[in-house]
Amino acid sequence: MFVGKSSWTYIGANYGAFDAMEGVVWSVWASFSVLSLVGIFYPLKMLPIILLEILYKVIWLFVVAYPLWSVGQLEG
């Protein structure tokens, strides 16, 4: 709820162009807020999106996070 409000407020109040990464970040947060509202009303139709999110996070853990963690370079 709060992420949706702050992301849409930030997007609406922006008067200049976003840089590439900033635009991606705010667009993703705004889309998550819309998809969460859709998921409240149609939970079974949103199941493929949830599975996609779980899959890419598991892949990221094995491909990116674990190799960095194993050599002691994972920050954060």
- The verdict on 5 and 35 lying in the same domain is yes
Give pLDDT, residue 1.
Answer: 63
Give pLDDT, residue 54.
Answer: 93
Residue 15 has pLDDT above 80, yes or no: no
Q: What are the pLDDT digits (tens) for 23-70?
A: 888 888 899 889 888 999 999 999 998 899 899 999 999 999 999 999
Number of domains in the chain: 2
* Residue 28 domain boundaries: 1-42
- The verdict on 36 and 52 lying in the same domain is no
- HEC string of 11-62? HHHCCCCCCHHHHHHHHHHHHHHHHHHHHHHCCCCCHHHHHHHHHHHHHHHH
pTM beyond 0.85: no
Instruction: Assess contact for 7 and 30: CB atoms under 8 A.
Output: yes
